[in-house]
Structure formats: structure tokens, C-alpha cells
Structure 1
Amino acid sequence: MLSAFLSKRFRHAKHKTGIVSLLSKASTLGVMLGVTVLIIALSVINGFEQQLEERLLSVVPHVSYQSPYDPINDWHEKVETLKEHPHIIAATPEINLTAMVQFKGKLKATQLKGVVPRLHQTVSGVGNYVQGKGVAQLELNEIIIGKKIAKSLGVNVGDKVTVLVANQHSEQPLAAPKRITLQLVGVINMGGPIDESLALTHLETLQNTLGLDKGQVTGLRAKVDNIFNAHDIAMSAGQTLSDLVYVSSWFRTQGSLYQDIQMVRTIVFLVVFLIIAVASFNIVSSMVMEVKDKQADIAILKTMGAKDSTIFATFALQGITYAVIGAFIGTVVGVLLAINLPNLFNALFAEAGSNPLAGVYFVEFLPSKLIWSDIFITLAVTLLLAVSASVYPAWQATKTDPAQVLGNT
């Protein structure tokens, strides 16, 4: 109790020189800024990871099997075979093509998927982002395209578009593409690259166009119960198929993005951790000057019978207090900014008229997700550094010689 009282008195007392007070405030400010930046940075990275899992990976295939040559026969049986795997939640057939969508002389390349409407919604969440007729209600000779494709072509829901599909089964290598006239019934408005690349139509529409039987498809798609184990599940389930297929998982198409997020998390934590470390160890210089400034007071306390442990605790508490104040303010500011960051980002770039995330990442907004364990770790590391930085100045204070100090005053 005495050490805490003395620490508070010393902290609020006037200093002989203003540089001591300036260094103390600078140390507190450095810790505050470091904690604030770390909380915001980790929240943004957590937000991107959450959006990757809940948004992008709900749309892209977890696991897919594509036939390199001949189509897959009897897809009903193959789907049931995949669903028997203990880690596969749902499965569906697909026909995947690269096609051109044409409207009034304008062309746009797209990844065209032929899907079974009632099954596709069990493996993909793209239906949550469709404006207009949903995927589950898709009928023959209808199409759903990405918003950016529709904008590029100037087409609206209800218009009819022409889809050009390569004539893969023709004996002529340069045969003219097959043309399909489809009615646009929905637009995918997800935000990100999906809006400018994806188009969905009924499976039977593409089967009829390509001359395939009703039981033939070019690929199978599955949804797994553990997305981070998708590759192993894909290989395991693929062995149950009798067809020659190319096995793929989201790790091949989006794995680098996930690894980039994890790498950025590590780099950001290390860099900002070093910033906090520098700010915390600025406490050393400020506390050394504090001890120098308070030598006379220390000498008087020693002559009055104060123990070295009391002197040590007094100045250690003072250094820790500077860090605690900075960490507390930094946490409050960081949490408030992290919670409101998406709204602040939208407000800022809505006025500027340019979004730096547009067309770059899989989302066009700045996501943020607070994880309290990150905050606790940040505070624990900050306090540990503050304690370490306060030990040497506090130890130096106990070495003050009352006779020498008071004899020179």
C-alpha cells in the first residue's frame, strides 16, 4: 500500500526538468498507439478470414471431380456414392464450361455451370446472393449471371441473351460454336470476382446443347464437413469413383489466398509487437530519468527507514502504470474503431467515389471481427514487456546512497 501511495505521489509531482514528463507521456502514447494498431489489424485479418470461410468458400466448390475426356455416366449413382463418405455432407452433378454471353453485339466471357437446381443449393450458398429468381427455381432455357457481367453487357432481368458454347464434339477443330438463347431471370450480387465470372443455367439445358444423355455430366461437386481437411477428403472420396476424374479442392483455387491471410497475420503481429516492445522499453529511459530526478526523495525515504523492497516496488509500479494507462486507452480506442471500421470505410470511400478493394479481393468492403482472445494476448504481452522494462530502473533506485545524495544538496 505504501509503494502504491508513493508511486502515485511521484507520478503527479512536478519534475525538476520537463524532459522527464515528456518521456513518460511519450512512453504511454507509444504503448497506446501500438495496442490500438494491433487490435485493429488483427480484427481486419480475422474479418477477412471469416469472410473467406463464410462467404467465398460457401460459393466455390469444396471438392470437385472433373472428367478430362469422356463425360461421367450415371451421375445419380455417383452422387449417392459420394454422399456415403462420412465427411461429405452433400453432392451434386455439374457441367462446367467456358462460354461467351452475347447481348446486342456485346460479348462477355463467363464460367458457365449447368446445375440441378434442387441439389445445387445443398452444396453452394450462391443462392443467398441472387437478386431475382432463385437458383432453386431455375428452369430450362433460363440463366443467372453475375452482376458485373450484366452491367458490362447492359442486360436486365427478363431480357434474352445468347450463349456461345464451344462445339467440343465436332469432328472439325474450328467448328462454329453452338448458340443457346436463354432468358435472364436473376443476377448474382455477391461483391467480388464471382460477379464478373459466374453464370448458372439448368443442367438439362447444357446436356441438350452438348448432346449428352440425361445421366451424363462433366463433373461432380461435394460439400465437406471440414473445409480445412478438404484435400484429404477429396482424395479419399475420389477413390470410390470408377470414372477417370481430375480431383480438386478449394485449396487449389483459393488456398494461396488463405495462406496469404495467415502470413499477413503473422507479419502484422510481429511488426506491431516490435512497436509495442519499443514503446514499452522507452519506459526504461523515462524511468531512469525519473529515478535521477527523485534521488533526493529516495534518500529521504531511506533515512526514514524505507526498505529497498518498498523503493523497488514504488518505481516498478510507476513504470507499469504508464504501460497500463496506455494499454487501457489503446484497447478502448482499438475496440471502438474495430467495431465501427466497416462503416467508417464505407463512409470514407463512398464520398471519395473509389473503392480500393473493388475487383481486387473477394469482398468489396473492409470486414472486421473482434476476437477477445487476441485482445487478452495483446494486453498480457504489453504488461509483460512493461514489467521487464521497469525492473532495471526500479533496481537502480534501490542503489541510491542517502549520505552521498543528501551530502551534495
Structure 2
Amino acid sequence: MKLAWQLARRFRQAKQQNRYISFISFSSTFGIGLGCFVLITLLSVMNGFERELTHRILAVIPHGELYSVSNEGINNWPAVMTELERDERLVSVEPYTKITGMLQHKGALKPVELTGLAVASVDYSQWRQQVTPQAWERFRQSHNTVLLGQGLIEKFGLEVGDNLGVLVPVTSDDMVFKAPQRIKLTLAGSLSIGGELDNYLGLMHLGKASQAANIDSGAQGLRFRLHDPYQAKTVMRDIGYRFPQAVYMSDWTRTQGHLYNDIQLVRTVVYIVLTLVIAVACFNIVSTLVMAVREKRAAIAILKTMGAQDSLIRQAFILQGLTNGIIGIVAGTVLAVITAPNLASIVKTIEGVFNTEILSGDIYFINFLPSQLQVMDVVLTVVVAVILVVLATLYPASQAVKVAPASALNG
């Protein structure tokens, strides 16, 4: 192996004297390094989006819901909650009532979805990133207060303490719509989640919401938070099928699952495309080594006449190509490891220089480019790149072994 390394180094030094072969060799190294850099960086961005989805969206919206089929609500819900809280898969269970209506202020109307919570028993730490302590305290003190999404507040031009009206549709037993019921509320503060959710969501008190929705038991349904939100569908089916009354089942994948699916789709596409980019760069290694074999036919013939085994020749050319690939892999990986954790600040600087915004908070659920570097992504990228480089060296190495000493020296 030591002799093979020496031969590979000699062949590589001689190759650098040929400018054309040297250029192709450099382009292969650069392409492999660029592919590794971009692949690791973009995978880190996908990891960042998934982290923000978990910490922002899934920290606020329930992972799962069970809500009554009829207006009776959940029968004896305090006892049911006590029983469900024994399930080790659940972090918490809380009652809720959801009403949908039109928010009215100074003649303007906007659709709104208000969720009534038992505010006295709600853990504020769950809402710390979305609601300020002052707004939460005002919200907690009065049953007639409401927290509205930041987008709604901006569209209406509202301020804390403004009086609002919510028009709630009313139906009779024969499903005939009556004049809507108007609920009077006072704005306690803003609810900042991000993206489209800020344009229609709001929080109010459970008693007020249940009264407006004519829920007899005082709670329309139960909201669940799970230790593993990605198991929500399975867990909710298990709980729902064993529930003592007729209920509808829902989980976050039905309302916000498209975000997670989009992230996974982009991750898959990015990995496939950039792996192919690395593979294309490896074709340059094939070209480089094939030309090197043709250029070194006489040297190979001399080595064979001196007793060099085919395995030695094969190893020398494999190591030569592997050296080019490893240099690109190491350079691209190191650059990605340095860049990925600092990507948010780098993008922020670029936005400031060009006075632009890459991610708009009005459209996306975040207004910055997140990034989370994971060791497994780095290892997987490096392993795949090394495998592709090794495969690229096999054909030229086999051609070098086939060189016939007699014809090569006579030529």
C-alpha cells in the first residue's frame, strides 16, 4: 500500500504538468466540494424548518383533538381528563371550545377562529413565545377579553383595550340559520404565531366560548399535547376509538401537515439532485484518470516488466482519483460545517445590504432562514461522496491493468 501511495503521488505530480488534465482534475475536485457544501447546507436548512415547525407551530396548536358530535359537548370532561392524563404518551390534556365567526370593528368584517381555553389552568410557558406577559395577565384577569393574531390586529388597526364584536352563526334544530349572535369582547393583546395563522386565529375564555356556542357541558372537546407529535395520528385513533361517547378525531397533520410534508419533499428532492451533481463531478475523475492512463502507458509497461502486480497498478490509480475526491469532500464539508450554523446571520446581513426580505413573515410561519446542522447529515453526505468517488476510479484503474507492456513500449 505504501508503494501504491508513492506511485499515486508521482502520477499526480506529473499530471499537474499537463494543463488540460490539471484543469479537468481541478474541476472534478471543485464540483465534488461544491456539491458536498450545498447538500449539507440545504439539509441543515430543512432541519431548521422542521425544528421551527415543532417549536413554533406545534408548540401552540394542539397535536390532537377530540370534539363532540353534538352540542352537548364532552360529558363529565373533568373526570375524562383525569383518566386520560394517565396515558404516558400525553404531555397534557385541556378542555376547549372553538367558535368560528366574523370579527367586527368599526364596520369592517374579517373571518376569525376563536378557541376558548380554561385560562386559569393553562400553563403560560406554552405561550411564552407567542404572547407577552403583560398581554397574558390582562387576558387572564377578565372573561370578556380576547387575544387576536398579529395579522388581524394590523389589518383592523386595533389597540389594546379596544372593544370588538364577534358575529357567531346560530342554527335551529331544523338547520335553519337565524340572525347571528354578537359577542362583545375587549382586546387584551396580540398572539404572534407566524404566517397565515396570525390572520385568523384568536384566544378567548372557555366559559364565554361555550356559552356562545351553546355547549351544554361547558367544553366542546379536548386538546392533546404529545411527547412525540409525529405519532399524533396513531395516538388519536387509539384514544378516539376507546372514547366513551361519539366524537370526531383530528390531529395536526390534517391542518398543518402540508408544512411537514413540504419540508420532507424538499429534503428528498435536494438530496437526490445534489447527489447527482456530485456524481456528475465524479465523471471528471473518470476522464482525468483515463487520460492519465493513456499518458502513462509507457510507465505502466515499465512497472509491469519490473514485476509490478496488477493489484499495485490498480491501487495506484484508485488512490490517485481518491485523492482528488477527498480534497473536494473535505473542503466542501469543512466549509459547510462552518457556514450552516451561521446561515441565519449571514442571510440577515445579505438582506440588510440589498434591502430585501427573503422570507416574509406574512406568508411563511417564520421571517428568517433557520438552520440546524446534524452530524448524521454530514456523515451520510461524506460516505455517499466517497463511495461515488471510489466507483469513479474503478474503470480507469481496470484499464491501466490491461495495458500490455510489449505494445505500450513498442508504441
TM more than 0.5: yes
Shift of 1:313: 1.9
CA shift at 1:325, angstroms?
0.6
Confirm or deny: 8 A CA contact 1:47 1:368 kept in the other structure. Answer: yes
Q: Within 2, Cα distance between the matches of 1:291 and 1:341?
A: 43
Q: Aligned pair count?
A: 406
Q: Give secondary structure in 2 for the equivalent of 1:281.
A: helix
Residue by residue over 1:154-204, the C-alpha shift from the partner in whole angstroms, topping out at 9 and shown as x without a partner, is: 012233322222234698945332223322222112222221121001112
- Give the distance between the partners of 1:405 and 1:210, measured in 2 at CA: 92
Give the aligned partner of residue 312 of structure 2. Answer: 310
Unaligned runs of at least 5 residues, structure 1 = none
- The 3-state SS of whatever aligns with 2:179 is coil
> Using the alignment, how far apart are the partners of 2:329 and 2:219 within structure 1?
59
Partner of residue 29, structure 2: 28
Tell me the percent identity.
38
Aligned partner of 2:100 among 98, 101, 112: 98
Deviation larger for 49-58 or 79-88? 79-88
Closer/same/farther in 2, CA of residues 160 and 313 from structure 1, 3 Å limit:
same
Question: What CA distance in whole angstroms lies between the structure 2 residues aligned with 1:205 and 1:242?
Answer: 26
Give the root-mean-square deviation of aligned CA atoms.
Answer: 2.6
Runs of 4 or more above 6 Å deviation:
none
SS of the equivalent of 2:102 reads: strand
User: Displacement of 1:298 after TM fit?
Assistant: 3.0
Distance in 1 between the 2:281 and 2:127 partners? 47
Q: Is 1:89–2:67 an aligned residue pair?
A: no
My pick for the range that moved more, 291-300 or 197-206, is: 291-300
Shift of 1:264: 2.5
Is 1:195 the counterpart of 2:198? The answer is yes
From the superposition, tell whether residues 127 and 400 of structure 1 become closer, same or farther in structure 2 (CA, over 3 Å).
same
Deviation at 1:110, TM superposition (A): 1.2
Inter-partner Cα distance in structure 2 for 1:222 and 1:68: 18
Structure 2 counterpart of 1:387: 390
User: CA 1:226/1:17 → structure 2, altered by over 3 Å: closer, same or farther?
Assistant: closer
TM-score by length of 2: 0.89
Q: Find the counterpart in structure 2 of residue 118 from structure 1.
A: 120
Contact preservation (8 Å) 1:162, 1:182: yes
- Give the C-alpha shift of residue 151 in structure 1: 0.5
The separation in 1 between residues aligned to 2:282 and 2:251, in whole angstroms, is 45
TM-score (norm 1): 0.90
In structure 2, the gaps of 5 or more residues are: none
- Note the alpha carbon deviations across 1:180-238, whole angstroms, 9 max, x for none: 3322222112222221121001112223444555x422222122233222222212222
Change (3 A) 1:378 1:177: same
Q: Find the aligned partners of 2:24 and 2:175 in 1 and give their Cα distance.
A: 81
Q: Residue 285 of structure 2 is aligned with which of 268, 283, 286?
A: 283
State the alpha-carbon separation in 1 of the partners of residues 215 and 61 from structure 2.
Answer: 25
Shift of 1:322: 0.6
How far apart, CA to CA, are the structure 1 residues paired with 2:350 and 2:123?
36
1:15–1:293 CA contact under 8 A, matched in 2: no
The answer as to whether partners of 2:359 and 2:369 remain within 8 angstroms in 1 is no
Instruction: Say whether residues 1:167 and 2:173 are aligned partners.
Output: no
SS at the partner of 1:57? helix
Residues 102, 153 of structure 1: 8 Å contact kept: no
The corresponding residue for 1:108 is: 110
SS of the residue 1:128 aligns to = coil
Q: Against the structure 1 CA distance between its residues 45 and 258, is the aligned structure 2 distance closer, same or farther, given a 3 Å change threshold?
A: same
Q: 1:151–1:29: structure 2 CA closer, same or farther, 3 Å change rule?
A: same
Q: CA deviation at 1:61?
A: 1.4
In 2, the alpha carbon distance for the partners of 1:240 and 1:402 equals: 80
